[in-house]
Amino acid sequence: MPPQPELWSFRMRIRQVFWTAAPALLFAAVWSSAAVGDTRVFTEHCAKCHQRAASVARELKGDTLEERTAALDKFLSTHHAEDPKVRAAVIDYLIGASTQ
């Protein structure tokens, strides 16, 4: 028995929705896990003394993104974030918090 046109059309719509939504959902999941990772780095290395990232982010010096990043990198290199990977993660997190 050949498939009914309505059922076939419904299946095609489901496939279209899936292939349209799947990349967006995958991107959201990856982006969300990256944000959680940044939060974890801030929590592990900064939150003992600096409870809120937003309050730290408001104090970043510099007029441009590049100036704020450079100033924060220089400061963190001598302030409990000597590891370049940790420093980069903290900088990304704080710069993100300063632009929200």
Residue 50 lies in a domain: yes
Residue 15 lies in a domain: no
Could you state, in chain order, the average pLDDT of each consecutive group of 10 residues for the chain (100 residues)? Answer: 65 77 62 57 87 82 87 88 87 78
What is the number of domains present in the chain?
Answer: 1
Residue 54 lies in a domain: yes
Residue 12 lies in a domain: no
CB-based contacts of 13, cutoff 8 Å, min separation 6: none
Residue 69 lies in a domain: yes
Residue 13 lies in a domain: no
pTM of the shown model:
0.57
Please tell me the predicted confidence (pLDDT) of residue 27.
Answer: 58
Residue 10 lies in a domain: no
Domain span at 88:
31-98
Please tell me the predicted confidence (pLDDT) of residue 36.
Answer: 46
Rounded-to-integer distance, Cα 86 and Cα 76, Å: 10
- DSSP tag of 3: P
Residue 4 lies in a domain: no
